[in-house]
Amino acid sequence: MRHRSKRHSFEELLNAEKARIEAALESTDQGLQRELLELKLRRIETAFQIDDWVSSVGLQPPKKTQG
């Protein structure tokens, strides 16, 4: 029987991927590969910002319209 591993939160997964990319960037010279890693890192930072915004207390649900 297979054991299920602990589920990781979205933030934990983003942090792990960010750390992996930052480590890869340390050993990657200028060029296309580095640019792609930097792009992925910017996307992860954007995902962090969106997650913070979506989970913020002040975020209001969409208003229902009467139709």
Domain boundaries, the chain: 10-54
Contact 24, 36 (CB under 8 A): no
Q: Taking the complete model, does pTM exceed 0.85, yes or no? A: no
Going by the DSSP 8-state scheme, the letter that residue 65 receives in this structure is P
pLDDT score for 67: 58
Phi, psi of 15, deg, nearest 5? -60, -40
Tens-binned pLDDT, residue by residue, of the chain (67 aa): 666 677 789 899 999 999 999 999 999 999 999 999 999 999 999 999 988 888 888 876 667 776 5
Phi, psi of 54, deg, nearest 5? -65, -35
Give the whole-angstrom CA distance, residue 17 versus residue 54: 20
